[in-house]
């Protein structure tokens, strides 16, 4: 009797009993080489429940694109034999997703509290926002810009030396719930800011002359859900009238030719654009804050994963933004900085042609509001672990990303 209770208790501590397990689930990578093979994938996706990792929906798939998707255990055998028969080039990226998910928490650091080299749950991140502000009152202050659908506080950190008429850079993390490396980067950034101010010349210059608004997690409800119920959740957790499906894709929910391309009008889809632009409390709060501070915010950075890309507008059209040449030059130099640390290779360019066309993104919206330096980061990796990036990669990923962010911030400061 006691042994049973102890076992149940131990299991509950690491993973709640009601959470979805990924035993035997596989992640496939396929590369269709012609329209016929794309059509085959369409048929496959309409017959079998498939979770697209990259791109996020079958509708975005084009010939020669690498397509990563997850298949539930009892469907893997069938999917694999269909792929064999069809002749579509494929490989198995992850043979057993649960094994890789268990291995996420591989950091050597033993910690029960908040730790920068581990994935922190929302409770720890929320407490951390209060602590870092309290302990660094000269550099960090915390405000709340709204609440989530489920009522959680949307905290925003303002990082910088106080001064008058300072311009600012806005950076958010955690749009998509399962992209855990993203919130880890926002936390890392703030840590680096407070710990290297006064010693690192560039960081000191940046914080003396600019403010950084850092939103550690935008989609908090979704993030909590990935910890408690379903690790692969992407969208918000709001209800949809007329449907039992939950959630809207926050990065399809902005007023940037909303829901025109690369987004879905169906609430059950992963790229559901919502009932209207800014229908989500989270995106509305972010957009309201940026609108209110448009005269000071000179750059917008939004952190996603995975695929190792630095993207800039537009995603809703193949047309290039007015300062395309400048954005491209900045991206090239920022990526060079990033790569210099560990050799991590990044691609960069306008979203539509570099990743895929998709409307309603926060980057395009911010750009059209007049923030001419607007970038989306897609952090590590390129699919070996995908969203299940091991904790041992948090430090190198954040260090290299910080190089690129500092480069961009310095450029923005030089061009105010």
Return residues touching Zn ion (CB under 5 A). Answer: 176, 304
Rounded to whole angstroms, what are the CA distances from 273 to 2, 187, 258, 260?
Answer: 49, 28, 7, 9
The HSE-up count of residue 142 (CA atoms within 13 Å, CB side) is 17
The secondary structure of residue 89, as a DSSP letter, is E
Among 378, 391, 399, 400, the one annotated catalytic: 378
* Closest distance to ligand ARG from the beta carbon of 358 (Å): 4
> Among ligand ARG, Zn ion, none, what does residue 361 contact (CB within 5–8 Å per kind)?
ligand ARG
Q: Which residues lie near ligand ARG (CB under 6 A)?
A: 56, 251, 304, 311, 315, 351, 355, 358, 361, 363-364, 376
Give the DSSP letter string of 271-332. TB--SSTT-SHHHHHHHHHHHHTTTTEEEEEEEEESS-EEEES-SS-SSPPTTHHHHHHHHH
- Closest residue to ligand ARG: CB criterion: 361
Closer by beta carbon to ligand ARG, 139 or else 290: 290
> Among Zn ion, ligand ARG, none, what does residue 372 contact (CB within 5–8 Å per kind)?
none
Residues with Cβ < 8 Å from 195, sequence gap 6 or more?
none
Closer by beta carbon to ligand ARG, 140 or else 256: 256
* Closest distance to ligand ARG from the beta carbon of 411 (Å): 20
User: 10 Å Cβ neighbour count for 144?
Assistant: 11
> Among ligand ARG, Zn ion, none, what does residue 32 contact (CB within 5–8 Å per kind)?
none
* Closest distance to Zn ion from the beta carbon of 233 (Å): 12
The SS3 call for residue 221 is helix
Torsion region of 11: left, alpha or beta (phi above 0 gives left; psi -120 to 50 gives alpha): alpha
CA 234: distance to chain centroid?
A: 9
> Among ligand ARG, Zn ion, none, what does residue 211 contact (CB within 5–8 Å per kind)?
none
Q: Is there a catalytic annotation at residue 378?
A: yes
- Nearest 5°: CA angle at 139, between 135 and 140? 65
Closer by beta carbon to ligand ARG, 364 or else 391: 364
Closer by beta carbon to Zn ion, 231 or else 304: 304
Closer by beta carbon to ligand ARG, 192 or else 270: 270
> Among Zn ion, ligand ARG, none, what does residue 25 contact (CB within 5–8 Å per kind)?
none
* Active-site annotation, residues: 378
């Amino acid at each position: 009797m006691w042994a049973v209770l102890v076992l149940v208790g131990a299991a509950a501590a690491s993973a709640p009993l009601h959470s979805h397990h990924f035993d035997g689930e596989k992640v496939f990578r396929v590369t269709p080489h012609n329209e016929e093979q794309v059509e085959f994938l369409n048929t496959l996706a309409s017959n079998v429940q498939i979770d697209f990792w990259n791109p996020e929906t079958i509708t975005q798939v084009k010939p020669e694109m690498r397509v990563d998707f997850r298949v539930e255990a009892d469907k893997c055998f069938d999917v694999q034999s269909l792929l064999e028969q069809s002749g579509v080039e494929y490989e198995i990226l992850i043979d057993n997703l649960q094994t890789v998910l268990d291995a996420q928490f591989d950091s050597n650091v033993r910690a029960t509290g908040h730790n920068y080299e581990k994935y922190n749950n929302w409770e720890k991140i929320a407490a951390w926002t209060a602590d870092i502000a309290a302990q660094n009152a000269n550099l960090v202050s915390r405000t709340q810009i709204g609440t989530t659908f489920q009522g959680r506080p949307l905290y925003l950190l303002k990082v910088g030396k106080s001064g008058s008429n300072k311009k600012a850079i806005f950076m958010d993390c955690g749009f998509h719930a399962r992209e855990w490396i993203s919130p880890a980067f926002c936390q890392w950034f703030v840590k680096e800011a407070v710990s290297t101010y006064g010693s690192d010349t560039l960081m000191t210059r940046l914080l003396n002359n600019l403010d950084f608004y850092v939103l550690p997690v935008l989609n908090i409800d979704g993030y909590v859900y990935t910890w408690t119920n379903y690790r692969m959740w992407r969208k918000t957790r709001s209800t949809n009238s007329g449907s039992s499906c939950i959630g809207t894709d926050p990065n399809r929910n902005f007023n940037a030719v909303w829901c025109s391309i690369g987004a879905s009008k169906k609430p059950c889809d992963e790229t559901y654009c919502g009932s209207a632009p800014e229908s989500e409390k989270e995106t509305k709060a972010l957009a309201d804050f940026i609108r209110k501070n448009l005269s000071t915010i000179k750059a917008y950075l939004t952190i996603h994963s995975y695929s190792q890309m630095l993207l800039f507008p537009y995603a809703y059209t193949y047309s290039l933004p007015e300062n395309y040449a400048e954005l491209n030059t900045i991206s090239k130099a920022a990526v060079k900085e990033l790569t210099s640390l560990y050799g991590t290779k990044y691609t960069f360019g306008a979203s539509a042609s570099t990743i895929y066309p998709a409307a309603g993104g926060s980057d395009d919206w911010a750009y059209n509001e007049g923030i001419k330096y607007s970038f989306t980061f897609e952090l590590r990796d390129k699919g070996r672990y995908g969203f299940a990036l091991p904790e041992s990669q948090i430090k190198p990923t954040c260090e290299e990303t910080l190089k690129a962010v500092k480069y961009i911030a310095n450029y923005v400061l030089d061009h105010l």
